[in-house]
């Protein structure tokens, strides 16, 4: 199989292409999301300040109350098991995401390969050998001496 064929069938290449396609999609959405966020910030700015001022004390009291309750319930023996569970969950989700990117990239690679094939069919290729000039021959002799 050719190098181009190997690359078209490579999961790592598909994953990178999928990640690039995903990034482009998200970047195109950014201006609209930024406008909505700015509008929401302007609309609710006064309300948020008032709410923070009103409920700030209650929030601090609640945090202190739960902090004491949680500290009494956590057992150090449970931490390794929780860490393994977290790492397993994260690994599974990461593998799934990579598979999604690879599938997305496979579609991108196939689409681009089809476009390149169409262009290649439309444009006839002429292959010509490079012409050797007398200047090259004389330069080669001078450097060899």
What percentage of the chain carries pLDDT values higher than 70? Answer: 79
Minimum mean pLDDT range among 4-13, 18-27, 55-64, 66-75: 66-75
Domain boundaries, given as residue ranges, for the chain: 3-144
Pair of tokens at residue 37? 């966020």
Summarize pLDDT for 109-133 with one digit per residue, the tens.
999 888 888 888 887 666 666 666 6
* Both structure tokens of 20: 């690039």
Q: Identify the band that residue 79 occupies on the pLDDT scale cut at 50, 70 and 90.
A: confident
Q: How far is the C-alpha of 107 from the C-alpha of 124, rounded, in Å?
A: 27
The overall pTM is greater than 0.75: no
CB distance 95 to 12 below 8 Å: no
pLDDT at site 145: 47
Residue with tokens 């000039």: 133
Structure confidence at residue 132 (pLDDT): 62
């Amino acid at each position: 199989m050719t190098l181009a064929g190997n690359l078209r069938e490579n999961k790592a290449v598909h994953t990178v292409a999928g990640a690039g396609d995903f990034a482009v999609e998200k970047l195109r959405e950014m201006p609209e999301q930024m406008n909505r966020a700015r509008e929401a910030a302007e609309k609710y700015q006064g309300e948020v300040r008032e709410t923070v001022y009103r409920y700030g004390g209650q929030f601090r009291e609640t945090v202190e109350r739960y902090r004491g309750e949680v500290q009494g319930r956590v057992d150090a023996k449970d931490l390794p098991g929780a860490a393994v569970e977290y790492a397993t969950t994260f690994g599974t989700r990461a593998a799934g995401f990579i598979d999604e990117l690879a599938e997305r990239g496979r579609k991108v690679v196939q689409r681009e390969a089809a476009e390149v094939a169409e262009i290649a069919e439309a444009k006839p290729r002429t292959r010509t050998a490079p012409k050797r000039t007398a200047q090259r021959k004389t330069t080669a002799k001078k450097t060899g001496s």
